[in-house]
Amino acid sequence: MTIDTLLKPALLSFGIMTIIGCTTNQNVNQSVAEPLAQTSASQARVYYNGNIITMAGDQPEMVEALVTQAGKIAYVGSLGEARSKYSNAAAVDLKNQTLLPSFIDPHSHFGMVSNTMGQVNLNPPPVGNVDSIDKMLQTLKSYKEDNDIADGEWIFGWGYDESQLAEDRHPTKEDIDKVLPNNLVYLQHASGHMGVANSNALAELGVNADSKAPEGGNIARVKGSDEPTGLVQETAMYPFVRRMLEVLEPKQAEFFEQTQDYYASNGVTTAQDGSTSRDAIKFFQSQADAGKLKIDLVALAGVSDLDENLADKDFRWRTYQNGFKVQGTKIIADGSPQGKTAYFTEPYLTPVADCESDCRGIPSLSQETLNEMFVKAYARDNQLFIHNNGDASTDMIIEAHEYAVEQTGQAADKDRRTVPVHAQFARPDQLEAFKKYKMVPSFFTNHAYFWGDVHVKNLGEARANFLSPIATADDMGIIYTNHSDDTVTPLDPLFTMWTAVNRTSRSGKIIGKDERATPYQALKAITSNAAYEYYEEDSKGSLTPGKLADLVILDANPLTVDPDKIRDIKVTTTIKEGKTIYVRSK
């Protein structure tokens, strides 16, 4: 798959794939796909004649053959012994393709990905084609016309990025009003931490010149007045996101299967919904109980429901029920570095809207509030996942951890696997704290490509070059993962691997040469380490006898191709517990 195909949004990805069980006129690789599609999942299969990478150790390990049976891995080793022990197994000739444990999604937003299917794509290239406000407005106007959307209805867009627009600014309510004066419109920023509403939407949700910004948020104002521009940041955007979810809720079931297919087409068999309301948890569990899950889905419950969730006896934390589980709780500690709302100890180097001096971003909550959240979660062994980008918010996490340990009387290094999500600009001393407290940072190297140039401009070379420091973390013995944060960047584990290994920006600049990961380190972050993040290292993440037969087949070996070609590798087959759920069309 080329980079253009890999980075298309979810809705456009379905046209190039074949899901087993769906009708297709395309031919598939008979040597691999036909036996997988036609053989019972309970029958033994022996995979051979390919690059079989086990991901079972600190160094790459290759074997000649792998046998699966009854949804699990039965044998890993020599081809001769595999044939001897499993003489009746169906033979699967890999034809020099590469077999790996399937990819595990350390952090994305399954529900938001699903919701984008009911929105207009406003992403800049290469994800979309909106590179100016004029083009954005024309896209919005065409979307209304093409979808026959009546006046008075909501229109939602996603993925705009002011840093990639010709005008180098956010759109305003007046801009949107020019083309959609009779609709309610809300456009979500690429970061997911802000958005722009038109006049009708602002009025609908009561945002006006008299409105006060909520704690941890900002309502942008027209210069020299209190009149809102339409831009709402961090907690100020929450009412608009809630309304979006309410409006799109009736289509959840319609998009659910398509979203799973999107994950499967990228080789992912365990997905995450990175912040999940109680209603969404009930919906996901209902889909699981109805047998509609093709992949495993992991939810992170929203922290606003923490007390109710901890008291809910129906919650079986960290336990799958028909392929769905609630893993832990998600907290948002700060904002977006490209949106200049991430919370830093040192100021941004470029002007920040609605800030005159010492512009260091916005903490989403107070230290006291964060401390109490940690105490409640730690007291109940509830795993925490905390969104943090700037180093000041990382300081807050470390302080909250130490406070909760003291208050609960627990060991500081207990195996609780607290996950700082993104931790993009963690300092070396903060990495030491992660190691000391057995935290599992989930990095975000896709930023090096999408916003590396922006970070150099806004934060300077030193901070930008140390973003998502996988190489240093690995040297320190820290267990880390690496994610897409889809819808912020597209789900594509091989592209994420490419960004970790190359750290090349849109302009071709290397963002942090010394932090470039090895291909094997990058693979660990989306296989074995990702299984560890979810306490699933005994059942997933490596090709080990007894583990689930969750597998992915690639058309090239990511450990041996030219590192710059990793992003071009194609997922050809995805297998969940021995059952083929995706085969790529030729």
pLDDT at 23: 28
Residues 351, 456: one domain? Answer: yes
Specify if 534 maps to a domain.
no
Place of tokens 């062994």: 381
Cα–Cα nearest to 244, from 116, 407, 100, 107: 116
The rounded distance, in Å, linking the Cα atoms of 300 and 329 is 5
Residues 472, 377: one domain? Answer: yes
Alpha-helix residue ranges (DSSP H) falling in 225-275: 238-248, 252-265
pTM, two decimals, is: 0.87
For 54-118, give the DSSP string: ---SSS--EEEEEEEETTEEEEEE-HHHHHHHTTTPEEEE-TT-EEEEPEE-SS-BHHHHHHGGG
Residues 13, 136: one domain? Answer: no
Q: Which of 282, 300, 327 finishes a domain?
A: 327
Q: Which residues contact 32 (CB under 8 A, 6 or more apart)?
A: 92, 93, 94, 95, 97, 553, 572, 573, 583
Amino acid residing at 451: W
pLDDT at 509: 98
Residues 412, 290: one domain? Answer: no
446-461 as b/e: b if 16+ CB within 10 A? bbbbbbbbbbbebbee
Residues 520, 390: one domain? Answer: yes
pLDDT per 10-residue tile (average), the chain, 586 residues: 32 30 32 52 90 97 98 98 96 98 98 91 93 97 95 95 94 97 96 94 96 93 95 94 88 88 98 95 95 97 96 93 98 95 97 93 96 98 98 98 98 98 98 98 98 98 98 98 96 98 98 98 98 98 98 98 98 98 92
The tokens describing 305, both together, are 């429901």
Specify if 348 maps to a domain.
yes
Specify if 25 maps to a domain.
yes
Number of domains, the chain: 4
Tens of pLDDT, residues 364-375: 999 999 999 999
Residues 405, 304: one domain? Answer: no
Q: Which residues contact 431 (CB under 8 A, 6 or more apart)?
A: 441, 469, 472, 473, 476, 478
Cα–Cα nearest to 107, from 334, 271, 255, 326: 271
Residues 121, 200: one domain? Answer: yes
Place of tokens 């607290």: 418
Residues 346, 481: one domain? Answer: yes
The rounded distance, in Å, linking the Cα atoms of 412 and 393 is 19
Specify if 257 maps to a domain.
no
The tokens describing 272, both together, are 């995450």
Residues 346, 421: one domain? Answer: yes
The rounded distance, in Å, linking the Cα atoms of 574 and 131 is 34
Domain at 24, CATH number: 2.30.40.10
Cα–Cα nearest to 367, from 407, 395, 391: 395
Residues 317, 338: one domain? Answer: no
Residues 52, 201: one domain? Answer: no
The tokens describing 415, both together, are 């195996």
The rounded distance, in Å, linking the Cα atoms of 488 and 422 is 12
Residues 97, 198: one domain? Answer: no
Specify if 134 maps to a domain.
yes
Amino acid residing at 12: L
The tokens describing 431, both together, are 């990495």
Q: Which of 213, 247, 281 finishes a domain?
A: 247
Domain at 351, CATH number: 3.20.20.140
Q: Is the dihedral of CA 550, 541, 6, 127 positive or negative?
A: positive
Tell me the chain's radius of gyration from C-alpha atoms: 23
Residues 489 and 446: beta-carbon distance below 8 Å = yes
Specify if 259 maps to a domain.
no
Residues 422 and 388: beta-carbon distance below 8 Å = yes
The rounded distance, in Å, linking the Cα atoms of 270 and 531 is 9
Domain encompassing residue 90: 3-102+574-584
The tokens describing 313, both together, are 């006896």
Q: Which of 310, 327, 344 finishes a domain?
A: 327
Specify if 568 maps to a domain.
no
Residues 323 and 548: beta-carbon distance below 8 Å = no
Domain at 143, CATH number: 3.10.310.70
The rounded distance, in Å, linking the Cα atoms of 191 and 500 is 19
Specify if 262 maps to a domain.
no
pLDDT at 15: 28
Cα–Cα nearest to 453, from 168, 136, 128, 122: 168
